[in-house]
Structure 1
């Protein structure tokens, strides 16, 4: 008879089912870390998206493609320009994503989204609730970021940009795009979360630990949601950058419908596709990174918390 011990069978970790048992503060910390990781990593592509969406009569500020925009910005303005304004995102993304994922997990649990099967209505409602709360905090940081990303921007620090915008345009400038932002982000988040939860269960029905599931489902859901809501993002960019425009009509644009009218009058339907490629290219990897980071941080923090008990 052999004296060798029979190796214990390693217990399979039910990684995907963590949402039912993870404390709220861990969801919020994981969301904060995921938000910072996502936005910081994809920031240069976001700069290109903003540049391509801004309506400008200046040839030097007009871009026809992602590669052309990247080459022109990096060669004429320097590589550092692709990171100008990133501090605003880091300052805002951490707390905003903590609120975002904390609200999402709380509402999803309360409305039955963690039950078996595809709970589309619950997931969509939880996602919409999350973005309403998070965008209220993030919108001013987004305005500052886009002002610093613009061609020829004289803003060099977050505080200097915020102070200038406030003195010249008042507090309203930080929230004039908020209704448009919600009009975009509520359907974006509803689509993104619904597609993500659906894809996650289709790709990994056993709900075992699978980082590739988060990456694949996150990338797919990000691409779908980004494409569906791009016209709203173009309108939002026009409103958030209007104070830096030399065009009187754009400077006086007061809301989403007026922004739509300006875009349609000047460029027709193709104007609403401005920045579509970099937007999809931003959200596919950033969404994949966000979900991978969120689920990973959440798992690690939860395991650490349980080990310390």
Structure 2
């Protein structure tokens, strides 16, 4: 397989085993939960710029208004639903990505899995994110309500029962469609761009083969590729992110209604803040995820290599010509 381990005896488990997949899920929990919680202040200002651009006109002024209204503690508003929600999302996102990537490659076969690897990354990540967003939706709804609706609730413990009492279970899942619109393209870009960027860095930018690089050097490549992928992720997912922010703030709103109200210009409010946030976020997520693999001595598969059967076919075709 293009992603199979090279020296299995050095690792704590076999590539693709249940233990490997569970620890990948743990790595996803840590990478998403910790990073999203760390950037709560920036995310809070970004959300408020999207739902109240008249008051929160920019990143710097938005921070100033937030501190003036709620003090420094106000910058941490919504940290609890952020931590729990994105930890669950990370568990499914990274864990299921590994599952689907392995299963889809088995269905395609060795040669097609290599030739169609970009499509494979896109399909596996989209499948994983579908389930990850169902796990994320309730906490995302609470987070946005706490951060953007003054006087509603200030903590997870206050917001969750009030939302359920006033709107029922639907209050926690009405944003799942916009989440899919935002997160599935984002995750497809995040994984496919990352995988191909890593491949390109080792091919064109790193002066020695991946197998000869130290763990620190490989983690450096991971961080750079993650940041590049994050910039593209922010751009493709930002319009849907704007819709999610407004939708979860306003009771009784619909995704299409919010989209119509915001218009083309409105959905791009806060893009610069999101690029900074998501670029850094994605780079750190991949770094932490890879670091977890190093710590638990999990197989860290090399970049995709052309199967020997394809090499022989290519050589035979060249000699025939």
- What TM-score does the superposition give when structure 2 sets the normalisation length? 0.79
Distance (whole Å) between structure 1 residues aligned to residue 96 and residue 47 of structure 2? 28
Per-residue Cα deviation, 1:169-226 (whole angstroms, up to 9, x for no partner):
2211111111111022111111111111111111124334311111111111111011
Other structure's SS at 1:111 match = helix
Structure 1 residues without counterparts, runs of 5 or longer: 1-10, 244-251, 305-309
* Post-superposition offset of 1:232: 1.2
- Residue aligned with 1:302, SS: coil
Deviation digits for residues 252-276 of structure 1 (CA, Å, limit 9, x no counterpart): 422x222211112xxxx21111111
Distance across 1 between alignment mates of 2:116 and 2:66: 44
Within the candidate set 173, 176, 187, 2:174 is matched to 176
Which residue in the other structure is 2:260 paired with?
261
> Residue 48 of structure 2 corresponds to which residue in structure 1?
51
The question of whether the paired residues in 2 share the 8 Å contact of 1:201 and 1:207 is answered with: no
1:229 aligns with 2:237: yes
Structure 1 residue 117: deviation in Å? Answer: 6.7
**Partner of residue 6, structure 1:** none
C-alpha contact (below 8 Å) 2:20/2:298 kept by paired residues: no
Residue 133 of structure 2: aligned partner:
135
Residue equivalent to 1:3: none
Q: Which residue of 1 aligns with 2:185?
A: 187
Give CA-to-partner distance per residue, 1:33-87, whole Å, 9 cap, x none.
111221122111111111111147xx5xx21111111122123321111111101
Give the equivalent residue in structure 2 for 1:207. 210
Could you tell me the TM-score, scaled by structure 1's length? 0.82
SS of residue matched to 2:296? helix
Instruction: Provide the secondary structure at the position in 2 that maps to 1:191.
Output: helix
Distance 2:179 2:33 in 1: 20
Matched, 1:120 2:123: no
8 Å CA contact retained: 2:40, 2:77: no
Structure 2 segments unaligned to the other structure (5+ residues): 1-6, 204-208, 300-321
Counterpart in 2 of 1:249?
A: none
Q: 1:295 aligns with which of 290, 294, 319?
A: 290
Distance 1:19 1:119, change over 3 A: farther
Asked whether the equivalents of residues 37 and 289 of structure 1 are also in contact (C-alpha less than 8 Å), the reply is no
Q: What corresponds to 2:58 in structure 1?
A: 65
8 Å contact kept, 2:145–2:152: no
Q: CA RMSD in A?
A: 2.5
Q: Cα distance, 1:150 vs. partner? A: 1.4
Q: CA deviation at 1:302?
A: 2.8
Q: CA deviation at 1:96?
A: 2.4
> Which has the larger displacement, 148-157 or 179-188?
148-157
Runs of 4+ in 1 over 4 A off after TM superposition: 18-22, 113-118
The alpha-carbon deviation at position 160 of structure 1 amounts to 1.1
Give the match for residue 76 of structure 2.
Answer: 83
> How far off its partner does 1:118 sit?
7.1
* Residue in structure 1 matching 2:224, options 216, 220, 224: 216
